[in-house]
């Protein structure tokens, strides 16, 4: 997946995450994981290096 495809997917996923985070019915643990995922996606630091073959 190239950068253009990722940007397009992120553009469609952000409103869905925003709506899920606003809903009272969304469990707290789901909100926490959504926040961690957004933070990792937007972070310039690579927390999981690409050279680890088991995770990649």
pLDDT the model gives residue 27: 92
Distances (CA, A) of 38 to 10, 48, 52, 54: 10, 15, 22, 23
pLDDT band with cut points at 50, 70 and 90 for residue 29: very high
Residue 19: the pLDDT is 83
Identify the band that residue 51 occupies on the pLDDT scale cut at 50, 70 and 90. low
42/56 Cα distance (integer angstroms): 19
Which pLDDT does position 55 carry in this prediction? 55
Confidence at 35, pLDDT banded by 50, 70, 90 = confident
Inter-CA distances, 4 with 26, 33, 41, 50, Å: 30, 25, 15, 21
């Amino acid at each position: 997946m190239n950068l253009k495809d990722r940007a397009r997917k992120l553009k469609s996923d952000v409103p869905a995450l925003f709506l899920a985070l606003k809903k009272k019915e969304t469990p707290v643990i789901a909100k926490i994981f959504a926040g961690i995922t957004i933070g990792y996606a937007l972070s310039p630091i690579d927390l999981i290096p690409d050279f680890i073959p088991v995770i990649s």
